[in-house]
Structure 1
């Protein structure tokens, strides 16, 4: 079998410019993204026993740990932890007998991964599958909910991920939060007694399955669609659903993102501050609890947060977080940024972020307990 590289599968993205022996020249496919970005995901066959070298010709498309790779058709992933000195390429020695390899700048997360998550959650009761909206292409935009809704519960929690569809790592943290909410322990039981819960794993469902960048797409991306009339059906549906569902109760809201591809200030978990100082203070109160109880393996330090007005965080009124801050029911909300491949020197894995998500749920139980004690 001759060497073949393609992107003809869910989430696929790359422009293969040419192949010269074992040298592969490629670039990320920006599609409708208006500026440079870095997402790519390709499949390689016919490479058994060869040492391949990938050269990115457009711009940097690798984090500090190099590419994520899979030898089993995308079932399991890890980072190579190796790349060229200039950060623009990497080499990979293909095991003898390997039929298919997959490479990406991140660990992918697609519809099939969400279905696997739901299958694992079947051991728990007290939840239901739903649909927030239909995407532009007619796909279901899934919504996980605690069920049935009980207006007697004083709080509502909304989780969102993939406003920028390339930010796949956010979904593993979301899985962990859900598992923490459903856990048969005192924290899970407390959360279920106080909170109605909704999670939307793919705010840009079409982009996630099509393998788009999502960030900075034209005319604007999903996380710039919260001012005026929304152009994306998922966003319009969330803006309608949330205040109606919450009613007179208090709203908690986490929007899960990933930052730039690599760098000291990106290889972290951090909170993004917002202009509404009352809500930001509540988010920090929660963050302090999270920091104090986090057992790892992924570290979280409050000193890494980016308050409103600092650096790049100048506030954008059209974001999800900005919109949530205007809702009168909002008690605490904000954006989590979750590094792609490395957190303060610790390699990112799906299980590591699931564990962090579980800790996020435990911290929420303690936060609500403290909020109740302050009454």
Structure 2
């Protein structure tokens, strides 16, 4: 008679809980994480943003963690990248260590973790309860090229008269797409774009809230007299590969608005804006960004604002007054312009999109940059969307007053 022990051992092994091996996945659109250590026993993962050579700041991170057991507590630690991203420059930790990590169990709905805590070696540590076998973790709610495509398709379906267009093909062969809403002969012309710095995902989130407002019934009256050109992502290449984009080599998109741009999409934007202004006049240019970790919601305005007179001064001031009334949730916009004093030369200021537009616009043109503070738990997809809707209401009220009036 054979011994029953092998069968008993097998049955005992089958009765033990099975734990899949934890795996970090980044091979998807926008993915980025360099694993520093992974401790299976304590469910502790430490990462830092991976450097994409020549592609700017290593601050954005976005990955999937596979092999989780529902109910387990996972510790995510995020440290600064230790290697220089450009010459001898090592990026400060604040840029990659938000107060909360953003997590998703389905890749669609994003919620903030509890506030992180600082470790002795200056990493940020987040505690997360696993709710699925695979979960996504990110610096902030992501917005990648496929999200841009879905948004443009949504708006085009809602407004059949809207016209989608390809602004340019990137150096990497990817499409930079946009949408035009309104007649090209409309009396008012507006350009709104996001993500000249790839890591600033909140800019595109604000843009989504803005364009959805502009396509809504509330905006019907302003659509009848306005032609809007909207670009949800400018630096598509860097967004797609999970790079930071800012301070890319030799320069990033928002320092490329020169006489001879190196990025095809910047050159194409310049050509379109020149044509719009030459044929119809450009009323409003808005560039959507995210600022530093401790910053609120605010606009960068034009240097020399205090010395402006006449129509130009009136329009910039009226824009700010209307924004202060309309952009209130979930955070209020600062009711005064800030100025990019960290840019110290006229030459560099002229290579920034807002500066270039001011140089190539008319006396009624305003060109502003909206910086939306990201390091707050209320800056969810919905929170960003509220800022975008408030921006839309600002634009609607501004156009209603006719900025070209004498």
Bigger drift between 111-120 and 349-358 goes to: 111-120
8 A Cα contact 1:28 1:61, kept in partner = no
Which secondary structure does the structure 2 equivalent of 1:371 belong to? Answer: coil
Structure 2 CA distance for aligned equivalents of residues 16 and 130 of structure 1? 39
Alpha-carbon distance in structure 2 between the residues aligned to 1:282 and 1:327: 17
Write out per-residue CA displacement over residues 283-320 of structure 1, whole angstroms, 9 at most, x where no aligned residue. 332121121234523322214x41354xx354622111
Q: Distance in 2 between matches of 1:197 and 1:133?
A: 18
Distance of aligned partners of 1:10 and 1:308 in 2 relative to their CA distance in 1, 3 Å threshold = closer
Equivalents in 1 of 2:95, 2:390: separation in Å?
A: 31
Q: Which residue of 2 aligns with 1:76?
A: 109
- Give 3-state SS (helix, strand or coil) of 1:102's partner: strand
How far apart, CA to CA, are the structure 2 residues paired with 1:34 and 1:233? 16
Partners in 2 of 1:273 and 1:241 — Cα distance?
23
* Residue aligning to 2:133: 99
Q: Residue in 2 aligned with 1:38?
A: 59
CA distance in 2, matches of 1:193, 1:360: 18
Give matches, 1:215-226, under 5 Å: 215-226=246-257
Look up the match of 2:73.
51
Question: Which residue of structure 1 lines up, in the alignment, with residue 374 of structure 2?
Answer: 340
Distance 1:57 1:308 in 2: 28
Q: Distance in 1 between matches of 2:329 and 2:164?
A: 30
Do 1:165 and 1:213's aligned partners in 2 also have CA atoms closer than 8 Å?
yes
C-alpha distance in 2 between matches for 1:274 and 1:349: 29
In the alignment, which of 317, 322, 327 is matched to residue 360 of structure 2?
327
Change (3 A) 1:307 1:137: closer
- Structure 1 position 64, deviation (Å): 4.7
d(CA) in 2 for partners of 1:81, 1:284: 39
* Corresponding residue of 1:256: 288
Once structures 1 and 2 are overlaid, which stretch shifts more, 120-129 or 38-47?
120-129
1:17 aligned onto 2:39: no
Equivalent position to 2:164, from 124, 129, 137? 129
Alignment of 1:361 with 2:395, yes or no, is no
Equivalent pair of 1:272/1:313 in contact (CA under 8 Å) = no
CA 154–276 in structure 1, closer or farther in 2 if over 3 Å, else same: farther
More deviation, 8-17/360-369: 360-369
Q: Which residue of 2 aligns with 1:179?
A: 212
Q: Which residue number corresponds to residue 236 of structure 1?
A: 267
Query: d(CA) in 2 for partners of 1:203 and 1:40?
Result: 19
- Segments of 4+ moved more than 6 angstroms: none
- Normalised by the length of structure 1, the TM-score is 0.88
Residue of structure 2 equivalent to 1:272? 300
Q: Mark the runs of 5 or more structure 1 residues left unpaired by the alignment.
A: none
Whole-Å separation in 2 of the counterparts to 1:204 and 1:273? 23
CA distance in 2 between counterparts of 1:282 and 1:30 reads 42
Other-structure match for 1:7: 26
Distance 1:60 1:289 in 2: 32
Is 2:274 the counterpart of 1:246?
A: no
Unaligned runs of 5+ in 2: 1-19, 81-92
TM (norm. structure 2) is 0.82
Cα-Cα RMSD: 2.3
